[in-house]
Amino acid sequence: MDLPTKKVTIEKVRSMKSLIGFPDWLFEPGKLEEYYEGVKTDPKIFLENRINLLELRFNNKIKNFRKQDESGWGTNPTDVSAFYTREDNTINAFNTHVFYLRALNYGALGNILGHELTHGFDNEGRKYDKDGKLYSSFYVPEVGEYLNGNLTLSENIADNGGLKSSLRAYWKERENVEKLLGLPVFNGDQLFFLSYVNSMCSIKYLNYNKKDVHSPLHLRVKGNLQNMPEFARAWKCPLNSTMNPLPHIRCILF
């Protein structure tokens, strides 16, 4: 980045709002009941329940059209997800997995938050207030094709920046965790990466959707870690091996 771009980027990061957990009003007596007022549910009629909830959501959108949401929360209070909102420059996140050890916390939840933050500066987010290798070299045997690097570029950039940000944040609060777990073979950095990989384990992408902007999870992990010399150092991967490619092959955003 040139100096003017760096200045704008820093200003954007400093003004970014973090909405983590729940909106404050959720715990005010009667507010949740008020939010879902008029919605009828029955455990025997799933489709009707779904329609009623969708009707509530659209009615609220119409009612609040052109109104500024002072709380900044643009989601339902029951949503379990994490995402970046370009228009509002906010990170919204909810995660039920809270670990005691910082290495595990930063490796899993920290990566998610860093991923969403980086979306503010990806190929789309940068337009609102780029560089990275494409993942087109990864083959998906389920569909007999290579990944579409252009389609998944935004998510790949966010993956790359997110894990790096989380690792740096962990380093600032690094602690000796080996004795706490009774696992002397793993140091803090290794636990960080183990936590990250574990948080990305899923069977969701067994049926790969070629139109999905996200790469299959196992390839997201592989591609992301290949770009991190910190991972290669932590696990002592031989130079020029699969997980420790030569420096000129890596994509390092910052």
Q: Catalytic residue positions?
A: 116, 159
Strand partners, 241: 244
Look up residue 241 and give its DSSP letter: B
CA dist 132 → 2, 163, 208 (Å): 17, 15, 23
Q: In 3-state terms, what secondary structure has residue 109?
A: helix
**Which residue stretches of the chain are H helix?**
3-15, 31-35, 46-63, 102-105, 111-118, 149-172, 178-181, 188-199, 217-226, 229-235
Q: How many CB atoms lie within 10 A of CB 105?
A: 20
Contact 213, 154 (CB under 8 A): yes
Collect all residues with Cβ–Cβ distance below 8 Å to 132 and sequence separation of at least 6. 153, 156, 157, 160, 251, 253
Q: In 3-state terms, what secondary structure has residue 83?
A: strand
Tokens representing residue 249 in the block: 């092959």
Cα(158)–Cα(129) distance, integer angstroms? 17
Collect all residues with Cβ–Cβ distance below 8 Å to 67 and sequence separation of at least 6. none
Q: How many CA atoms lie within 13 A of 244 on its CB side?
A: 13
